[in-house]
Structure 1
Amino acid sequence: MRQLTVTIPDDFYETFISFFKHIPDVSIDENGENEVPLWQQEIVLERLKNSKPEDYIDAKESLNKLKKKYGL
Structure 2
Amino acid sequence: MRQLTVTIPDDFYETFVSFFKHIPDVSINENIENEIPLWQQEMVLERMKNAKPEDYIDADEALKSLKNKYGF
TM-score by length of 2: 0.78
For residues 61 and 12 of structure 2, what CA distance do their matches in structure 1 show? 41
For residues 6 and 66 of structure 1, what CA distance do their matches in structure 2 show? 41
What is the root-mean-square deviation of aligned Cα atoms in Å? 1.7
Report the CA distance between 1:53 and its aligned residue: 0.9
> Is 1:29 paired with 2:41?
no
Which residue number in structure 2 is paired with residue 43 of structure 1?
Answer: 43
Count of aligned residue pairs for this structure pair? 72
Q: Identity over the aligned pairs, expressed in percent? A: 82
Larger relative CO (CA 8 A, sep 6+): 1 or 2? 2
Q: Deviations over 1:45-72 (max 9, x none)?
A: 2211211011011112211111111111
Report the CA distance between 1:31 and its aligned residue: 1.9
The amino acid that maps onto 1:50 is N
Bigger drift between 50-59 and 5-14 goes to 5-14
Which residue number in structure 2 is paired with residue 9 of structure 1?
Answer: 9
Report the CA distance between 1:28 and its aligned residue: 0.6
